[in-house]
């Protein structure tokens, strides 16, 4: 055991079709190769083979699928971004089930630590299979929560999420395949990456993200309230009070029945109370509208993608990788996974606000009825025209007073909320950005970089390491730790792949030393971009690090010095595709 858990490697992947196992792939320690053995040209018609479409990368996606990945990644064309209908139909019509077996021994299943994950491609409850060690789960989130608890000792409510953490182990598609640290892509903001990297370093720090989000909502609400500045409202209120005093003085000099005056005063008070209630109700409805609008904006991100940013991202990636196979779904799926969580957080106040709005509406209705009754009583009294005019003027002044007072109170209340949240965030920041925390992060990076330097030197003869700096989030203006890789030269795509592998191996050694729970395997695509010597070095380093690495590769890209037969776990070709077609 390490860190209170068993070390787990992948032992085998089974594909079951119509109730029968049609493909079993057994894995072992160190480097595992999934080879496309398609010849350079078909003998029969001399048609060049593409080297794609046989299913070698799909094996990686099936393993990722067992850890909660969206099933669309299995049957969606990575270039066309459209479903491959033949594959999609096959997965359901043939009742394809994927079974992944892990244990503490990479070379044979250890009965004491055997861990079996099963999943199929149905969505309806009656046919869907989501099982861990024989236990069924009704939903994917519950399923992933159990994986996170079992494998990484994660609290389901904590950040970062299970999928954010394990994305480093599945470097199959962009951005994970070509980004050493920012493997979740540019759609994840700096503060979220900060939470992830601190977790990877084994450093616990209060999650500032909920405070930042709440502060942003309250600031937006205050901005709407202050469309007319508070100072202007306060001056208008003072003038209103003076006007009320003048009208009250005029009315007091009239010879009026005392009972009539008392009813007029009651009417004025009721109008004031009604206006205060109406303004509070308006504010409550505005707050509800803002929250629902925020939820709508968050949920809209499931489908409304910033094409310009995505195009820029792809352009940057294509500058590094000439033959980059970009998967838009990888970004969209991560985005969608986060949207529901953020929407639930934003809308948690809605029930309280709706209850308060209903109560205010009932109170306002009662006051309106009382006003109507008083007006009916006063209408039956004998009054002078002057008194009626003064009474109407007084009513309007009190309504204005209620509106102005309510607006000022709302602004003051909102400012207090923002001050309290800012103070709370400041307390967290004071601890998070203290010299003690800075030194702690620096100390962990020194330990991590010892391993990173070792593997980057062996991989491509250069020192690469991880460092950090304090930056400001553009959206909130708040500070966060930004982690990045410093490297003398990683301009080529092959060298970048070597840097990523060196980091992953170095981090594995660091995590084991610090007893930080991790998955003990990494799945890579695009490693054919590396020089053959680097692939040989990965083999040696994976053995020394006791890390399991699984790589799909074309047969003609395998270095001649590599003992391929010992390392190949699956041979595929145009005549022997993964699903048989």
Rounded to a whole number, what is the distance in angstroms from the first to the last CA of the chain?
A: 42
Confidence at residue 1, expressed as pLDDT on a 0 to 100 scale:
40
pLDDT at 274: 87
∠ CA 24-28-29, rounded to 5°: 160
Mean pLDDT of 408-430: 89
Per-residue pLDDT of 127-163, as tens digits, reads: 999 999 999 999 999 999 999 999 999 998 888 999 9
Helices (H), 433-525: 435-460, 493-514
> Considering the entire predicted model, what is its pTM?
0.67
Q: In the predicted model, is pLDDT for residue 295 greater than 70? A: yes
pLDDT digits (tens, 9 = 90+) for 514-552: 999 999 999 999 877 677 788 888 888 998 888 999 999
Q: What mean pLDDT is reported for the chain?
A: 85
Average the pLDDT over each of 118-127, 324-333, 457-466, 473-482 and give the range with the smallest value: 324-333
pLDDT value for 513: 94
Q: What is the CA radius of gyration of the chain?
A: 33
Tokens of residue 425, six digits: 């965030």
Residue 546, phi-psi category: left (phi > 0), alpha (psi -120 to 50), beta (remainder): left
At residue 394, does pLDDT exceed 70?
yes
pLDDT at 323 over 60: no
d(CA 320, CA 326): 12
Q: Over 90: is that where the pLDDT of 375 sits?
A: no
Tell me what pLDDT residue 49 has.
44
For 185, 186, 305, 312, the CA distances from 309, given in Å and listed in that order, are 11, 9, 9, 5
d(CA 253, CA 261): 12
Predicted confidence at residue 214, as pLDDT, reads: 85
Q: What is the pLDDT of residues 5-26, one digit of tens each?
A: 457 899 999 999 999 999 999 9
> Using 50, 70 and 90 to split pLDDT, how confident is the model at 322?
low
- The two structure tokens encoding residue 285: 């409805």
**Residues shown for the chain:** 581
Tell me the C-alpha distance between 191 and 481, whole Å: 7
């Amino acid at each position: 055991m390490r860190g209170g858990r068993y070390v787990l490697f992948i032992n085998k992947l089974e594909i079951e079709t119509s109730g029968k196992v049609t493909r079993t792939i057994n894995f072992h320690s160190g480097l595992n190769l999934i080879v496309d053995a398609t010849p350079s040209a078909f003998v029969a018609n001399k048609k060049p083979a593409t080297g794609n479409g046989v299913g070698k990368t799909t094996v990686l996606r099936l393993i990722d699928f067992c850890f909660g990945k969206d099933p669309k990644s299995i049957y969606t064309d990575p270039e066309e971004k459209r479903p491959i209908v033949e594959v999609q139909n096959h997965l359901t019509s043939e009742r394809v089930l994927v079974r992944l077996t892990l244990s503490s021994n990479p070379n044979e299943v250890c009965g004491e630590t055997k861990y079996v994950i099963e999943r199929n491609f149905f969505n309806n409850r009656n046919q869907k299979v989501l099982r861990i060690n024989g236990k069924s789960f009704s939903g994917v989130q519950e399923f992933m929560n159990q994986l996170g608890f079992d494998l990484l000792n994660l609290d389901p409510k904590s950040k970062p999420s299970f999928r954010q953490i394990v994305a480093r182990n599945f470097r199959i598609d962009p951005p994970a395949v070509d980004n050493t640290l920012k493997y979740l892509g540019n759609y994840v903001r700096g503060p979220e990456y900060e939470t992830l990297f601190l977790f990877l370093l084994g450093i616990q720090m209060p999650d500032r993200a909920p405070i930042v989000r709440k502060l942003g909502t309250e600031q937006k609400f205050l901005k709407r309230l202050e469309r007319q500045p508070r100072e202007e409202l306060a001056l208008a209120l003072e003038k209103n009070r003076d006007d009320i005093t003048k009208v009250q003085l005029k009315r007091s000099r009239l010879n009026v029945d005392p009972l009539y005056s008392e009813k007029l005063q009651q009417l004025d008070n009721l109008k004031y109370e009604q206006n205060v209630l109406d303004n509070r109700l308006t504010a409550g409805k505005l707050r509800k509208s803002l929250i629902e609008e925020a939820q709508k904006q968050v949920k809209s991100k499931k489908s409304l993608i910033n094409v310009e940013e995505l195009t820029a991202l792809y352009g940057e990636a294509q500058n590094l990788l000439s033959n980059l196979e970009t998967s838009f779904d990888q970004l969209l799926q991560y985005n969608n996974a986060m949207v529901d969580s953020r929407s639930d957080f934003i809308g948690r106040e809605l029930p309280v606000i709706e209850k308060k709005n209903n109560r205010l509406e009932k109170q306002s209705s009662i006051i309106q009825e009382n006003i109507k009754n008083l007006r009916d009583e006063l209408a039956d009294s004998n009054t002078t025209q002057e008194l009626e005019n003064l009474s109407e003027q007084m009513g309007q002044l009190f309504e204005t007073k209620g509106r102005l007072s309510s607006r000022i109170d709302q602004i003051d209340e909102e400012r207090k909320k923002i001050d309290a949240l800012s103070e709370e965030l400041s307390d967290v920041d004071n601890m998070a950005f203290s010299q003690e925390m800075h030194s702690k992060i620096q100390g962990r990076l020194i330990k991590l970089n010892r391993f990173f330097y070792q593997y980057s030197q062996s991989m491509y003869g250069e020192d690469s390491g991880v460092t950090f700096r304090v930056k400001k989030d553009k959206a909130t203006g708040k500070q966060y730790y930004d982690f990045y890789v410093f490297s003398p030269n990683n301009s080529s795509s092959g060298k970048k792949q070597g840097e990523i592998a060196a980091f992953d191996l170095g981090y594995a050694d660091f995590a084991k030393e610090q007893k930080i729970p991790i998955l003990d395997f990494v799945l890579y695509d695009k490693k054919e971009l590396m020089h053959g010597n680097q692939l040989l070095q990965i083999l040696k380093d994976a053995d020394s690090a006791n890390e399991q690495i699984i790589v799909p590769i074309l047969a003609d890209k395998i270095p001649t010095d590599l003992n391929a037969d010992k390392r190949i776990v699956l041979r595929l070709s145009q005549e022997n595709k993964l699903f048989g077609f």
